[in-house]
A and B are shown apart, each in its own frame.
Chain A
């Protein structure tokens, strides 16, 4: 099974406090720590586990700039054999459809049986996988939390409301967007990343991918961010203040009053 996993570099919410910038129109982007989108790690892990079972190889791809090199190498250290970087000034400012258009070009240059994305990402719309599948005219399933490879097809589980799982049969090739919790992504240490530090990562431009530069990038984007703002706060919580002892004393009173202590 040849598997392509589409990954994305995002601000790491575990490492950053997201705050507004001084102009009040964007988040403060200086000094943000970036990492691989959390959902994508689950997709790469799932791809590696599938290949371990049935053979084949995993390729990871991202659309970005030279800064994205490190996230590709991190996923390669997990066990993806190849990395691809789709990079071109023309790609900058693409909306989801633009990104899907670029990825369709990447897919066309390979022979993939299965394409995976993370189900969503911070700052994203959870849309690239579904758009890519529709452009390729192959089936798609979102929020996938189980994959079972069968002869020429997959049996997949989707997460639906209330912890229920919707089981489907899907033909190959197809696109799946992977939900967190499907597996336990393996740990990647410094040594693992060092091992893949000299592996060449081919760079693919719009012309390499046969992508019309006018169909991607900011000019083609139909969906655009205007500005960021902090939502007007409602009444919000009554905040307990004081020393820890004082807070605890007040809290215990509140717990008693509301049936929170037995």
Chain B
């Protein structure tokens, strides 16, 4: 079995939660040690933290990696990893930037958004993915005979929080090679603050594709007014410019923690659910198979365009 490596994301000197998840993913592929890879500039503390989770940690510490530019990190990894390596990445904006190209340069197979791993059968690792917004799941095999790059969905693996390892840190900064790039990081632009702060709301009436038309936004606003709630939404509503980005809940929007979250016509993609941290979830959707019903406390199968006005009317007495 090839050596398994996990790429550790970190922000402001703190390990990303996926560090504790990828070690679990690695063990699901094969027994044996999983090696962490930590890259950056001035990352001794981060590498030490990783060594509490992983028995082996490779550190690439150089100013050229101060910002995680996927093109530069790819070059470093290609120079450092043995051929046939299995590389685990968090499935997110960085993993999606790095993974596909890395698999080409390593001549290995690639799969993304993996939600579970069912072990290895000969040269095939057995993966589970989801399609169509989580309505159906798929068994997928990835041939690892010449290695693999596998992006694992954050939150999908139960994390190993034991921090019981006392791993050995190996500094491979000198082996990273030429780290010039044709893509240069400039800056991070923070989102503009909107008129509303949905992260402070106790009750959210959140709308998704089920609202169907911009003209129907008023239906949600009337219900929110009757409940004393604030209107939030899922990504497609912001993409369509029907509501401003400040109202978007999800990994690419805001993380909210209301007392009550009422999801109206929202199917419940993992990116959306990633933005809801606690609270009582009520889901209203006309599709009884919508994934949102798996995470909601209370569910109602109904067309929101009929249900919301009826609820509003009742509340207004």
Q: Which residues of A contact B (CB under 8 A)?
A: 11, 13-14, 17-20, 27, 96-97, 100, 119, 122-123, 125-131, 133-135, 138-143, 155, 157-171, 174, 180-181, 184, 222-231, 233-234, 236-240, 244, 247-249, 251-252, 254-255, 258-262
Q: Are B131 and A231 in contact (CB under 8 A)?
A: no
Q: Which residues of A contact B139 (CB under 8 A)?
A: 225-229
Q: Are A239 and B138 in contact (CB under 8 A)?
A: no
Q: Are B137 and A251 in contact (CB under 8 A)?
A: no
A96-B110, A164-B190, A260-B260 given; A133·B252 CB < 8 A: no
Q: Which residues of A contact B235 (CB under 8 A)?
A: 180-181
A259-B259, A262-B203 given; A142·B93 CB < 8 A: yes
Least Cβ–Cβ distance between A229 and chain B, in angstroms: 5
CB-contacts of B127-167 with A (<8 A) = 130-143
Given contacts A11-B132, A228-B131, 6 further A-B contacts (CB under 8 A): A97-B109, A128-B100, A134-B105, A166-B185, A223-B109, A244-B302
Bound Cα distance from A228 to B135, whole angstroms: 11
Bound Cα distance from A2 to B212, whole angstroms: 36
A123-B131, A125-B110 given; A260·B99 CB < 8 A: no
List the 10 closest A-B pairs by CB distance, nearest first: A262-B228, A130-B100, A237-B299, A260-B260, A134-B101, A134-B104, A163-B191, A222-B109, A127-B100, A181-B239
Q: Are A181 and B238 in contact (CB under 8 A)?
A: yes
Contact of B186 among A143, A167, A237, A249 (CB under 8 A): A167
Q: Are A252 and B188 in contact (CB under 8 A)?
A: no
B255, closest chain A residue (CB): A162
Q: Are B101 and A130 in contact (CB under 8 A)?
A: yes
Q: Which residues of B contact A169 (CB under 8 A)?
A: 183-184, 186
A125-B111, A251-B298 given; A180·B239 CB < 8 A: yes
Q: Are B96 and A143 in contact (CB under 8 A)?
A: yes
Q: Are A165 and B188 in contact (CB under 8 A)?
A: yes
Bound Cα distance from A146 to B297, whole angstroms: 38
Contact of B314 among A122, A128, A131, A248 (CB under 8 A): A248
19 A-B residue pairs with CB within 8 Å: A18-B135, A18-B136, A96-B110, A97-B109, A97-B110, A131-B100, A134-B104, A139-B71, A143-B97, A162-B254, A162-B255, A228-B131, A230-B136, A237-B298, A247-B302, A247-B307, A258-B280, A260-B203, A262-B228
Chain A, interface SS category: mixed
Q: Are B142 and A223 in contact (CB under 8 A)?
A: yes
Least Cβ–Cβ distance between B131 and chain A, in angstroms: 5
B101, closest chain A residue (CB): A134
A125, A139, A238, A259 interface centre (most CB from chain B within 10 Å): A125
A160, closest chain B residue (CB): B93
Interface presence of B315 (CB below 8 A): yes
Q: Are B283 and A125 in contact (CB under 8 A)?
A: no
Q: Which residues of A contact B238 (CB under 8 A)?
A: 181
Interface presence of B57 (CB below 8 A): no
Contact of A251 among B105, B189, B300 (CB under 8 A): B300
Least Cβ–Cβ distance between B143 and chain A, in angstroms: 4
Q: Are A142 and B96 in contact (CB under 8 A)?
A: yes
Contact of B97 among A142, A155, A162, A234 (CB under 8 A): A142
A135, A174, A181, A227 interface centre (most CB from chain B within 10 Å): A181
Interface presence of B282 (CB below 8 A): yes
Q: Are B104 and A171 in contact (CB under 8 A)?
A: no
B132, closest chain A residue (CB): A18
Contact of B298 among A126, A160, A238 (CB under 8 A): A238
